[in-house]
Amino acid sequence: MIKAVIFDIDNTLTDFMRMKRAAVEAAVEGMIDAGLKAAKDELIRKIFDIYWANGVEDQKIFDKVLLQEEGRIDYRVLASGIVAYRRAKAGTMALYPHVGATLSELMRLGVKMAVISDAPRLEVWLRIVDLGLHYYFDHVITADDVGAKKPAPLGFQKALEALGTGPRETLMVGDWAERDIAGAKALGIRTAWAKYGDTFETKDSGAEFELDDIADLIAIIKGDARQASPAKPRAPSSKAAARRAVQS
């Protein structure tokens, strides 16, 4: 029986890449407006090349791209990019449909919930609080907390310990098959792939369940509970008991 759910956050609860693309585009426009001589589409491509190489949480991304483009950092241009990025991020960071309703129903069902994220600790908490998710989660575990990113086992082990559940009582929900799903499966944790958040054109997630919508979780957990609790045999009716008495 599933007693706890561990969630990834980016592209599982939040449409992170939609926000990232919009914020980067705004940042590039801001830097060009402040005097940076660059072609917009080409600069966006270069920024994402750096992200893919260093991770999408690179906090020095605009410093690096300015050094790459001009060999120095013009702080007017840098500040313009950062301000534009933050404004666009605030305007586009949003939950996927049905996230709030699903988390509320899980809470009502008594299911414990935690988050494991590879993002820096402060960034994770800023997202969670900004989106009003901090009321739902018993525990939030980041790469900063355990010194390792998924699929390393440390974050998953810490989550199981904090939740007080065993691997077969726990379901990991994430969008990244090679990190979220593979990392959880290595410890025997059950898995659900957030297909709706996939950005890798994944062909086979390897997960026990696949979610077209996060709301699919409710049916999975309720169905698992029914399987784990087989119906008790009903007491015979008085008529049936009377018939057996006569036959005997």
List C-alpha distances in Å: 159 to 119, 140, 152. Answer: 16, 8, 13
Same domain, yes or no: 219 and 105: yes
Distance CA 217, CA 211 (A): 7
When pLDDT is averaged across residues 18-28 and rounded to a whole number, the result is: 97
* Same domain? 148 vs 224: yes
If one compares 56 and 139, the residue with the highest pLDDT of the two is: 139
- Same domain membership, residue 121 and residue 56: no
Q: How many domains does the chain have?
A: 2
The residue length of the chain stands at: 248
Torsion sign (Cα): 240, 241, 242, 247: positive
Domain carrying residue 34: 16-92
pTM strictly above 0.95:
no
Identify the burial level of 58 via C-beta atoms within 10 angstroms of its C-beta, where 0-12 means exposed, 13-18 middle and 19 or more buried.
Answer: middle
Q: What are the backbone dihedrals phi and psi of residue 188, each rounded to the nearest 5 degrees, phi first?
A: 85, 10
Within a 10 A sphere around the Cβ of 39, how many other Cβ atoms? 11
| Sheet-wide strand order for 139-142 | 139-142, 112-117, 4-7, 170-174, 190-194, 209-211
- Tell me, yes or no, whether 60 and 110 share the same domain: no
Q: How many helices (H) and strands (E) does the chain have?
A: 11, 6
Q: Are residues 26 and 121 in the same domain?
A: no
Identify the CATH number of the domain in which residue 39 sits: 1.10.150.520
- Asked, for residue 72, whether it belongs to a domain, the answer is yes
> Is the predicted pLDDT of residue 237 greater than 50, yes or no?
no
Within this chain, do residues 88 and 132 fall inside the same structural domain, yes or no? no
Tell me if 17 sits within 8 A of 11, measured CB to CB: yes
- Predicted confidence at residue 240, as pLDDT, reads 40
Does residue 241 sit within a domain? no
* pLDDT greater than 60 at residue 46: yes
CATH code where residue 171 lies: 3.40.50.1000
- Amino acid identity of residue 88, one-letter, is A
Omega prior to 151 cis, within 30 of 0: yes
The 3-state DSSP composition of the chain as helix, strand, coil percent (nearest 5) reads: 55, 10, 35
Q: Are 137 and 114 in contact (CB under 8 A)?
A: yes
Q: What is the pLDDT of residues 85-135, one digit of tens each?
A: 999 999 999 999 999 999 999 999 999 999 999 999 999 999 999 999 999
Comparing CA positions, the residue from 195, 185, 190, 200 lying closest to residue 215 is 195
Q: Is residue 248 assigned to a domain?
A: no
In a domain, 214, yes or no: yes
Backbone angles phi, psi at 114, to 5 degrees: -145, 165
Gap between the Cα atoms of 9 and 122, Å rounded: 14
Residues 10 and 47 in one domain: no
pLDDT at 105: 98
In a domain, 235, yes or no: no
